[in-house]
Amino acid sequence: MKKINITVNLKNKQDLYNPYNNSILNDNLSSYLLNSLRGLGLKEKVRITIIHTEDISLEEQKNIENIIHTNFYRIDFEDAIHTKAYHIRAIILLIIGIILLWISYYLNTNNIYIIEELILILGWVAIWEVADYLLFEDTKNRIKSKRIDELTKATIKFVKEDN
């Protein structure tokens, strides 16, 4: 299994942290780490190499590792909540679509075919929305979740660079 190395050139320790809270990872750094995995395989292990010029104590290094791992754990947890909500929405839409198709099939309007066809179209649209989500959106979400999971488990290496 190949290891992916993401290099972070740190000019200042404060660049790691959110400007408003030192226990949260900077959003730009979080986006950089996540975007660095685009186009790469999903099963490779990730190593983050932080190159720094300032002295970072062992305790600070452990704290930074914890902040990075916690950041991606939170993102993964939040995405899981959204995915669950989308799955519930998909189930409801599928049930509505099936009910509308059933109503359309058993609806006997002798002269007004437009109502029957309208209900039929609405039923198929509801079912297509579910298929679209499961075929396209859910796949993208699963790929993103796997990448976030790898960042949650990433090994972090600190390298001191002399000026």
Q: What is the model's pLDDT at position 105?
A: 83
Q: What is the model's pLDDT at position 94?
A: 95
Q: What is the model's pLDDT at position 85?
A: 93
For the chain, counts of helices (H) and of strands (E): 4, 5
Residue 38 gets the label, from left (phi > 0), alpha (psi -120 to 50) or beta, of: beta
Mean pLDDT by 10 residues, the chain (163 residues): 81 82 85 84 83 86 90 92 93 95 80 83 94 87 88 88 74
Q: What is the model's pLDDT at position 15?
A: 80
Beta carbons of 84 and 77 less than 8 angstroms apart? no
Q: What is the model's pLDDT at position 66?
A: 92
For the chain, the structural domain boundaries read 3-160
Q: How far is CA 2 from the centre of its chain?
A: 22
Q: C-alpha distances in angstroms, 156 versus 17, 26, 45, 48, 63?
A: 16, 16, 11, 5, 11
Q: What is the model's pLDDT at position 17?
A: 84
Contacts 24+ apart (CB under 8 A), 57-63: 60/13, 61/156, 61/158
Q: What is the model's pLDDT at position 86?
A: 92
